Structure 1
Amino acid sequence: MAPAPQVTPTSAPAPHPGNYTATPAPSQAFEELQPLYLPEVPAAPFAEAPAAAEAPVAEAPVVEAPATPLYEAPSPQPVYAPPAAEPATHAVEPGPALVENTVAEVVAPVAVEDVYDANAFEVDEEFEATVVLTRGRSTTRWNLVDIDGTRFPLAPSNVLGRKPASGPEGAQYIALSDPERVLSRTHLLLEVENDELWITDLNSTNGTEIFEDENDMRPCEALSRYAVTVDQSLSLGGRSITFDGPGSL
């Protein structure tokens, strides 16, 4: 670092003789000094920023209402109360009872050649005589012989009973007279196959028996099939029937 320069003090010059004004001492001059006032400068007004221009607002067009209304509401009509019913002064006879409408069941006409007795299914009572309720589609060479000697040609499938109502499709229904009421409604199935006669007890109440003579009786089990020859007879709960057919005398 370089050494700092040395300052040599100098003495003030001697005053020159002559007229001069004495300079007051510093302390005196400081006392005689008056405060210095700076003139007031008026503040410059601030310029206000111009207001932002407002965007024009589009006004909706004013639609004037029509001078007259499009329609006029109807004026309210007065409501009249119905006259009060006069009290009955005499007894009123009851009218006919309402009858519900019913649909009559349509029953197909019954052909004469198919049914001997068209009313056989309408009453639940024993027939006074044996009748064929529904004929089979064809007949065989076998005949059922009733106790009064009447013969009834047998179809390939036949249902016997007091009033048979169910059996194989196409079966012939034969209602046997039953004054003692020993038969079941659907008692026996008779079938003819290759000129042979077969029977099946349809779970009847009093059962079925095969007779060759008075001393030879064979009971049939329900729903079991048995062959019957022309010289044999049947007992349906005690009600007898016989047959004639191939091999009859």
Structure 2
Amino acid sequence: MAVNLQLVPAAAGKRLGAAVIDWLPGVAVLVVTFAIGFAGITRTRSGGFIVYDTSSLVLFGGIGLGLTLAYLFVVLGLEARTGKTPGNLAMGIRSADQDGYAPGAGAVFLRGLITGAGILLALPAAVLVAVFKWFDAALFILGPLLVVGAAWAVLVVVSNRWDKNGGLRGWNDTAAKTLVFDVKAGRDPITTGGIQGPYSFAPLDLPPVQQVLSPVAQANTPQAPAAQSVARFQAPQASAPHAPAPSATMPSQTMPYTSPASFAPPATPAQDAPAGHRVPPQHVDDDVERTQVRPGTGGPAQVAVLRIRLDDGRDFQLDRSVLVGRNPVGQAGEQHAQLLAVDDPGRSISKTHLHLLTDGAGIWVTDRQSTNGSAVTTPDGLRTPLVPGVPTFVTPGSSVHFGDRTFYLGQA
């Protein structure tokens, strides 16, 4: 991987260093707030019973939990969109999905859930301590659980050391289908093209995507430039009575290479041509007065109507410009685009995920820098990821995958 793709899996030590940096703020807040809360618990006797006043524990413990959750959500969102966390930045590593794009919220949450599973077991125990007022034994109950949870978290983070595939994935990476790369020793796939390059590093046999020129909405198809040179032939009618009357001007044309013998007419020597005059060669169409109309084609050509069918069965006819997403919004110059909102309870689709531009025989599909990426499967079953921001031409009969959803392109 490092030789061919300039991609270096992050070592276990760097993973652990990044995790410790990410955990420290949350752990510090919890330790301080719960310490203050426990210190503020008062005990009084009333009617032969011991009464504990836990208002300080509830207050400061709630503040600590709230601040920690807010911090975790910020870090989760940052990593989901960019592969960065404070620890990743400090250690020079990045997390990504198996195609090299940002990992996404679902994958990051699953990785964190597996890593912190041991710590989460201490939460029910803390609730039991508070409910049954086992404060005297709280340290003996919660202490071992926290130690076991911390040991489990460290073990998961460094578990890539036992990965036989070059230390590529830890246990949490395998479950969430993520990868972690050392961007100081190698390149950062998220910012240098993901699966595009130099070539796929994903554990899938995928072909490279061929980039195309970006079409401009509502722009006319470029026409061939006017011919720069014109061959003029003039032959006196009296001097060449048998030669066909040539066209006054003959613009130069560019044609695909074909063997001259396959289409050139047989050479016919010019008769009665005066010396010093050049007679143009005959063309196979010179003796035809007009183009023959093929039977059954007298009417104008029918323009195919492009339609897409979503995986939930809904069918739509496409306008010239279409935006697809959870709640698509047009950019500058796209106020009149057709907006196609797609339900996505799992939030795998970005707000504005795709831009479609109809172009006669197919559509240009552009991924609008989505979080979870897009791909196209051609009628022959070949699946190709889309490069964010690069339009790709898609023909009818193909399927376009965006997030966890898919639509099929057809003609009416």
TM-score band w.r.t. shorter chain:
0.3 to 0.5
Normalization by structure 1: what TM-score? 0.40
Normalization by structure 2: what TM-score? 0.25
Q: Which has the higher strand share?
A: 1
Larger Cα-atom Rg: 1
